[in-house]
Structure 1
Amino acid sequence: MTPKGQQDTAELRAAARHLGRRRFLTVTGAAAALAFATNLPTAGAAGAAEMDARKIADDPFTLGVASGDPQPESVLLWTRLAPAPYEPGNGLPNQRVVVEWELAHDARFQRVARSGFEITHPEFNHTLHVEVNFLEPGRTYYFRFKTGKWISETGRTRTAPAAGSSVSSLKLAAVSCQAYHDGYFTAHKHLAQDDVDVVFHLGDYLYEYAVNSAGGARKYTDRTLPAIFNRETKTLEDYRLRYALYKSDPDLRASHAAHPFVVTWDDHETENNYADDRDENGSAPADFLVRRAAAYRAYWENQPLRSPQQPIGPDLQLYRRVQWGLLAQFDILDTRQYRSDQAYGDGADIPGPESRDPKRSITGATQERWLIDGWNSSKAVWNVVPQQVNFSQRKLDLNAAAKLSMDAWDGYSASRDRVLAGAASAGIENLMVLTGDVHVGYAYDIKADFDDQASKTVGTEIVATSIASGKDGTDKPATWETYTKANPHMKFYNGRRGYVTVDLGLKSARADFKTVSAVTTPGAPITTAASFVTEAGNPGLKPA
C-alpha cells in the first residue's frame, strides 16, 4: 500500500476524532504526538528514492508469503522484504523497492490470472499488502512475488464462495499462542500438510517476552540469536524485529504459504493482560497508548490484513466479518482493545458485584451491537465467532463459591449474558465459539444458564490449544480432575500442544483435536486426541 506523503494538522484532527473524546483526553502533549506519529509515514515518504532491486544481494523473501481474509472475488497477499531480517530496517536502505506479484490458476504459473507491480516503503518496514480483485469465487489460486533476481516461494490461497451460494462443506483450522521461546512450531508443520480451506489464528501470534540466544526451550546449538531479542518488546523497532524472528520459523512459513489466514489478536501481541488503555504494570494510559500504537502498527504490517484494518495511532478496528456462502458466517472479535479493566485486580477471584456490573464490557458497546446486528441479518447455517478468551463458565475449584478467571468472559458475565440473549433473540440455532488463550484444548456445551446444568444448550465452544506456549504439556494437566468435575458442560480437556480442525456441513459439524507429543524437540508426530460432533439444530457435543 502506498503511504501518504505528508502528515498535517487535518490528519491529526482525524486521528483524534477516531480515538474518541474519552481516550483523546487521556493522551496529551508529546505522548499524543508520539502515539499518532508512530502510525503515520514520515514527511516526504512519497518522494523517497527508489532502490534498484538488482542490487539486493541476498534473498529478500526470508519471511515467506501469506494470504488472508478471503472474499468471494478477492484475496489479500502479503510479504515483507528482509534480506537481513534480524537487523533494524531488514538490511535494506531507506528507499522504496518495486515488487512484482503474480496470481495463477496453477502452481507452475502457466495460467496467470492477475499480475502487477507494487511498491514497498521503508515507512512500512518494506511490507506489502496486495488486494487482488475480480477473481472467481470458490477457487484455489497460487501466488508469488519477484524483485530483482529473486523469486519468493509459492503460496496457495483461495477465494470464498459467492455470496448467497449453497455450500455443503468447509474445513477450518484454529490455532493460537505460539511462544517462540517455549518450543518449536511443529504443529504448524503438520497444519501446512492438512487439507483445510482456511486457518483462524485466535491470538498471541507472538510474545513480548525476551528470547535468549539459544531460543529459550528450543536450546539451539547450531545458531545463536542476536541480543536484540533478549529484551521485552516496547518500541516499534522491537515489535518489527520480533515478527521477523517468528516469521523466520520454517514451519510457520509453511503454514502461511499453504492456507489463507484470518487473524485476530489477544494480549501478547502488545502486552500481557492489557485492557483497553491499561497495562498490567499500572502505567499512565498516555504512556501505554504510545506502546500500543507501536504494537498495532507492527501487527498490521506483518499480518495479511486488508486496508480497513490499517491502524490510526493506537486504534485498529480488527473486528470484521467473513462469509462462506450460506454455510457459515464468521464474526471475528477483538476482546482486548475495548474491554473494561479486569475486575478485582485481574487473576482468579470469586465473582461479585464488580465483575457482574452490567456496565462492564469485554467487547465494548459498539462491537457488541455489531455482533448482534450481524446475527439478526444472518442467513448462515453456522454462526461462528472466532475470538480470544474462554467464553463458557470455567470454575477453577470445587468450592461452593468457586473462583473464575477475571480476564475471561467469566469476569464480564453481563457481556456474555447480553451476547447470548442477542443470539437467542436473533434465532441463532447453530452458534459456535472458537477460542484460544489458555494453552489447552477444551470442548464445551454453551448453556443458557451455566449454574443450571439442566438449562438449554445454546451452542458449542471449541478451544484450540497452543502451538508452543506452555512447552510440551501433558494429556491430563494437574487441574484436569478438578475442572472436569466442577464444569459438567466441559466435555473435553487436554493439555498437549497442537491445533483443532472443524468440518462444517449442512447437517452437522465435527471437531478434531490434534496434538503433538513434544515441542521442546523438533519433529514430533501428530495424533488426534479426540473428536466430537454437534448436529445442526440440536446443539451439544457428542463423541464422534
Structure 2
Amino acid sequence: MTIPYRTELRAAAAHLGRRRFLTVTGAAAALAFATNLPGTADAAALDARRALTADPFTLGVASGDPLPGSVVLWTRLAPEPYETGGGLPAARVDVDWEIARDERFSRVVRRGTATAHPEFDHTVHVEADGLAPDCVHYYRFRAGSWISPVGRTRTAPAAGARLNDLRLAAVSCQAYHDGYFTAYRHLAGEDLDVVFHLGDYLYEYAVDAAGGARKYTDRKLPAVFNRETATLEDYRLRYALYKSDPDLMAAHAAHPFVVTWDDHEVENNYADDVPEDGGPAADFLIRRAAAYRAYWENQPLRRPQRPSGPDMRLYRRLGFGRLARFDILDTRQYRSDQAQGDGWQVPGPEAENPSRTLTGAGQERWLLDGWRSSQALWNVLPQQVTFAQRRSTTDADYKVSMDAWDGYPASRRRVLAGAQAAGIDNLLVLTGDVHVSYGMDIKADFRDPGSRTVGTELVTTSVSSGKDGADRPANWATYMAANPHMKWYNGRRGYLTVTLGTAEARADFKTLKAVTTQGAALTTAASFVTEAGSPGLEPA
C-alpha cells in the first residue's frame, strides 16, 4: 500500500537535496568554528585558588535533559559576566562537582572534576550518570575556594516504569528589554518534574542602558548590549546578560530544563541558511555558527548536541517511563524559506507546494519512524511555532501565518498522517513563539470543523516578550469566531503547566498582570483537560 505522507516526504527530500556552497571567506570561518576547540591549542591551566579572587558563579547553575540514570549539569565561570571572557584569562580551570540526595550534601552519590575550557567560554557540561532513576538530586560546583549555589534536579523514571502522573511546565519568549522575568520567580516555586523551554531564550535586538522596559534607575547596562548580536562574543555576552537575571537563575536552579530554540537565538524569522532580509547564505552561516555555538555553551545540553560549524542537531527524544515520550523538534534549521514573502498571507500555490518542509526530510523521517516504536501513553511534541490552523478572519479570503505550520500545510499533513499510521492516540503538541496562550483541538481537516479531532495543542505565552499584554487582545473575538477549534486565547504573560495522568492531561494557563513592573501576582487564568483516548479540550 502506498502511504501518502511517504510520497510527500520523498518530494521534500528531493527539494532539500541541494548542497551548501560557502565562499572562501565563509569556508574559512566555518573551519575556525570547527577547530577552535579544546585539544587544538594548548591553553594553560589556571591556578584557581590564586586567580579566582571574586565569585565566578555569577550566572548560577542549571541542569537538563534528564535520563533514567543521568542528567546534565551546567555552570559557567564568569567573575565579570559583562566583560568579554567573563573576566578570566584564556586558561583552563578545573571545576569540582558533586551530586547528593539531600540539600546538605550528607549523602553524596557522585562527584568528579570537569574542565572549564576557554574555547567554550569557561562553561561546564557534566553528563552525570550512575544515578538512581526517578529521584530528586542536589548538585553544586567548586572552583578554587568558591562554591556555587545549590541546584535541584530530577532524573527520569526507568524506561518501563508505570507512572501515575508527570508534571511539567512550558515556557518561551523572554525578551529582556520587554520586562522582568517575574514568571520565572513563580515557576521556581512550582512542584515540577521538568521544564520545557520552547524557544526565544534570548533576543538579538539591542538592549539600552536602562534595560528597555525595565527602566533601571539604580544601574546602567554596559554599551556592549546596545547593539544587535552578530558575532560569537556578542551572543556570549547576551547570554551573560540574560542568565544574570535572578529570577531566571532561580528557575534553572529549581528544575531540570529541556531546551530547544526558535528564531531569535540567531535572527528573527530566519529559515535554514536564509536570513530575515536576504543576503549571501555564506555570510549568514557564519553568524549562525556563532549563535549555535553560544547556545550550546550556555545550555545544559549533551555532547551529541555540540555544534559543528553552522550545524547542530538539536532534535532529540526523551522518555518518562511508559507514561510519556517527548520528541523535541527544531523547526528553524532545516525549513524551506517562508512562502509568499513571509508574514500573514492568503494561502496560495507556493505555500501549498508539497515539496515544502518545516522540519527537513531527515528530522521528519526520524519523528515518524520513532512514533512506530513508541509505547508511551502520551506522545508529546515540544516545538516552536503554532501547529493548528489560525485563520485571521471568518471571510473566505482569510490569511494565515507563513512562518507557522499554516505556511507549510503539506509538512503538517505528513506529520498527522504519520501519527495516524503509527497509531498515536494521544498526540499533544507544546508550542511557544506567539506571545499569547492558546488551547486548540488539532483537526484531521481544518476546513471542516466537524472533522475528527486527532490531537491537542497547548501554546504557552511569553515570559516577557510583548510587554504586559491583555487578557483579550484586539483580535480575540475574530480569532475565536474564525477558528472554532480554538478553545482558549489569552494575551497576558506567564507560563503553562501540564499534568499528564493515566486517564487525562490537565493544562493550567498561568498569567501575570504585568511584567514592566516587578512582583506581579500569578493567576491561573484557565484550566482544561483532555482525556486519554479521546482528544479534545474541555474546561476542567
TM-score normalised per structure 1: 0.95
Determine whether 1:399 maps to 2:403.
no
Determine whether 1:172 maps to 2:168.
yes
- 8 Å Cα contact 2:38-2:119 kept in structure 1: no
Instruction: Decide which of 240, 243, 248 is 2:244's aligned counterpart.
Output: 248
Give the match for residue 294 of structure 1: 290
- 1:44 and 1:450, CA in 2 relative to 1: closer, same or farther beyond 3 A? closer
Give the match for residue 484 of structure 2: 488
Instruction: Decide which of 352, 356, 372 is 2:352's aligned counterpart.
Output: 356
Please give the per-residue CA displacement for 1:252-274, whole angstroms capped at 9, x wherever unaligned. Answer: 00000000000000000000000
1:363-374 matches, within 5 Å, as: 363-374=359-370
1:75-114 matches, within 5 Å, as: 75-114=71-110
Give the match for residue 28 of structure 1: 23
**2:253 alignment partner, SS class:** helix
Give the match for residue 119 of structure 1: 115
**1:384 alignment partner, SS class:** strand
Give the match for residue 203 of structure 1: 199
Shift of 1:136: 0.8
CA distance in 2, matches of 1:209, 1:168: 43
- 1:165 and 1:408, CA in 2 relative to 1: closer, same or farther beyond 3 A? same
Letter in 2 for 1:35: A
Q: Pick which of 50-59 and 28-37 moved more.
A: 28-37
Please give the per-residue CA displacement for 1:204-225, whole angstroms capped at 9, x wherever unaligned. Answer: 0000000000000000001100
CA distance in 2, matches of 1:161, 1:379: 15
Shift of 1:24: 5.2
Letter in 1 for 2:91: Q
Determine whether 1:276 maps to 2:279.
no
Give the match for residue 46 of structure 2: 51
**1:314 alignment partner, SS class:** coil
Count residues with an aligned counterpart.
Answer: 525
- 8 Å Cα contact 1:457-1:540 kept in structure 2: yes
Unaligned 5+ runs, structure 1:
1-20
- 8 Å Cα contact 1:467-1:498 kept in structure 2: yes
Shift of 1:44: 6.1
Give me the identity figure in percent.
Answer: 70
- 8 Å Cα contact 1:36-1:293 kept in structure 2: no
- 8 Å Cα contact 1:158-1:260 kept in structure 2: yes
CA distance in 2, matches of 1:23, 1:282: 18
- 8 Å Cα contact 1:45-1:123 kept in structure 2: no
- 8 Å Cα contact 1:532-1:543 kept in structure 2: yes
**1:245 alignment partner, SS class:** helix
CA distance in 1, matches of 2:370, 2:201: 27
Instruction: Decide which of 368, 383, 387 is 2:383's aligned counterpart.
Output: 387
Shift of 1:57: 1.0
Shift of 1:45: 4.8
**1:118 alignment partner, SS class:** strand
Instruction: Decide which of 320, 337, 348 is 1:341's aligned counterpart.
Output: 337
CA distance in 1, matches of 2:31, 2:314: 18
CA distance in 2, matches of 1:36, 1:341: 26
**2:45 alignment partner, SS class:** coil
CA distance in 2, matches of 1:64, 1:44: 27
- 1:517 and 1:248, CA in 2 relative to 1: closer, same or farther beyond 3 A? same
Unaligned 5+ runs, structure 2:
1-15
**2:162 alignment partner, SS class:** coil
Determine whether 1:141 maps to 2:137.
yes
Shift of 1:37: 1.3
CA distance in 1, matches of 2:198, 2:84: 28
- 8 Å Cα contact 1:39-1:293 kept in structure 2: no
- 8 Å Cα contact 2:206-2:225 kept in structure 1: yes
Shift of 1:47: 2.6
Shift of 1:41: 2.1
- 8 Å Cα contact 1:391-1:408 kept in structure 2: yes
1:321-336 matches, within 5 Å, as: 321-336=317-332
- 8 Å Cα contact 1:39-1:294 kept in structure 2: no
CA distance in 2, matches of 1:125, 1:397: 49
The two structures, once aligned, show a CA RMSD in angstroms of: 1.2
Give the match for residue 18 of structure 1: none
Determine whether 1:442 maps to 2:438.
yes
Instruction: Decide which of 480, 502, 508 is 1:506's aligned counterpart.
Output: 502
Shift of 1:40: 3.1
Determine whether 1:233 maps to 2:229.
yes
